[in-house]
Amino acid sequence: MLHRMEPVLLGANLPATFYRGAGRIARFRGAAELPPRPEDWVASTTTRFGSSSAGLSSLPSGVLLRDAISAAPERWLGPAHVDRYGADPAILVKLLDAGERLPVHVHPDRRFATAHLASPYGKTEAWVILEAAPDAVVYLGFSRPVSVAELTGWVLERRFDELLAATNRVPVRAGDSVLVPAGLPHAIGPGVLLVEVQEATDFSVLLEASRFALDEASAFAGLPRELALSCVDRERWDPSRVSSLRRDRGSLLFPSAADEFFRAERVGSVLDPGFSVVVVTSGQGALGTLPVAAGDTLVVPYAAGAVRVSGDLSAIRLRPPAVPAAAS
């Protein structure tokens, strides 16, 4: 009989990137020795765009999580998930610390990624805000229709103030959740620490790349500019559409439009069986027999079965999309 697996506590995984952090990840984790990089890729089997290794997470044994899952996919992910997705968790989770305003950017959807980037996944993502400065904001969608010529002009002529002014400026505070559909122009303002869950890619089209001294190949995922910009949603997002991105469902943190891409839920007294990533946001306690505290991140294998949660803690559980009954 196969032994039951246990949740695994993970260390920080901080691949280099082009924008600044502000040390919030180190403070959240209670690990002052960490460099102030802005992204911690949690339980990642996904690599940075253009890299064969940057971004991959290791288990405490030193084995890459990707390799461990490949060696025993049904134990880690469950048979129904493997039937649908193979040995791929199908999500990527990050801690993100915005030490400066990120560029306005867009992620391609699945249809675009399949056609032009050789991937079944686009990059719909969503955020759970852990910390926010009193004046913290994010930017979501254009507040008016934008033509191809206008968008191209902003990018080529570096008229970034005009670009930003055409977006919806949305205040955020700790506890908020936000869905960011693929194609939606967006940016995160400074002073925010969040948990991000997304499809398992690193595809971005950066509309302000030259503000960060990035070349066009880096800005446009290696695609020609005109093609890359064609994935941008140039429609108007009015206040009601923007508000629809911020509706949780009680214990479920994102609106139903997220369900085909990923799930996120507040942790209760028991984790039902299934692969997931857990971020402990406050307090302390245990997952099964494993002691945990605020700032800890864990990967929970399918073969852990039902895991009891004890103690005085709050945590977020990030999961792949549910496999429809017909596929199981």
Residue 192, domain extent: 8-251
Query: To which residue do tokens 């008016």 refer?
Result: 144
Q: What is the reported pLDDT for 115? A: 98
User: Count of domains in the chain?
Assistant: 2
pLDDT at 137 over 50: yes
Give residue-wise pLDDT tens across range 196-217: 999 999 999 999 999 999 998 8
Rg of the chain over CA atoms, in angstroms?
19
Q: What is the 3-state secondary structure (H, E, C) of 191-208?
A: CEEEEEEECCCCCCEECC
Q: What is the reported pLDDT for 14? A: 98
Q: What is the reported pLDDT for 123? A: 98
Same domain, 320 and 300: yes
* 164 in a structural domain: yes
What amino acid occupies position 116? H
Nearest to 166 by CA among 104, 220, 219: 104
**Regarding predicted confidence, which is higher, 242 or 326?**
242
Same domain, 138 and 67: yes
Q: What's the pTM?
A: 0.96
Question: Where does a domain end: 251, 284, 304?
Answer: 251
Q: What is the reported pLDDT for 217? A: 86
* 220 in a structural domain: yes
Q: What is the reported pLDDT for 328? A: 42
Domain at 290, CATH number: 2.60.120.1030
Give residue-wise pLDDT tens across range 148-164: 999 999 999 999 999 99
Q: What average pLDDT does range 87-101 have in this prediction?
A: 98
* 305 in a structural domain: yes
pLDDT at 186 over 70: yes
d(CA 38, CA 103): 14
Same domain, 72 and 203: yes
Same domain, 110 and 226: yes
Specify the 3-state DSSP secondary structure of 27: helix
* 72 in a structural domain: yes
269 Cβ contact list (under 8 Å, min separation 6): 308, 309, 310
Same domain, 242 and 292: no
d(CA 127, CA 308): 26
Please state whether beta strands 307-319 and 270-271 pair in parallel, antiparallel, or not at all (unpaired).
Answer: antiparallel
Distances (CA, A) of 81 to 85, 178, 231: 6, 26, 29
Q: Let me know the angle formed at the C-alpha of 323 by 321 and 325, rounded to the nearest 5 degrees.
A: 145
d(CA 206, CA 185): 9
Question: Where does a domain end: 251, 285, 303?
Answer: 251
Host H or E run for residue 244: helix 239-244
Same domain, 275 and 162: no
> What rounded mean pLDDT belongs to the chain?
96
Calculate what percentage of the chain has a pLDDT beyond 90.
Answer: 95
* 256 in a structural domain: no
* 2 in a structural domain: no
Same domain, 151 and 276: no
213 Cβ contact list (under 8 Å, min separation 6): none
* 145 in a structural domain: yes
pLDDT at 3 over 90: no
Same domain, 162 and 109: yes
Same domain, 87 and 236: yes
d(CA 292, CA 133): 27
Domain at 243, CATH number: 2.60.120.10
| Cβ proximity of 124 and 261 under 8 Å | yes
Torsion of the alpha carbons at 177, 180, 181 and 186, rounded to the nearest 10: 160
d(CA 236, CA 168): 10
Question: Where does a domain end: 194, 228, 251?
Answer: 251
Host H or E run for residue 263: strand 263-266
Query: To which residue do tokens 């690193």 refer?
Result: 202
* 277: phi then psi, degrees, rounded to nearest 5: -115, 135
d(CA 281, CA 89): 22
pLDDT at 311 over 70: yes
Same domain, 140 and 275: no
Same domain, 177 and 87: yes
* 258 in a structural domain: no
Give residue-wise pLDDT tens across range 41-61: 999 999 999 999 999 999 999
Same domain, 24 and 97: yes
Query: Lowest-confidence range among 139-148, 192-201, 246-255?
Result: 246-255
pLDDT at 283 over 70: yes
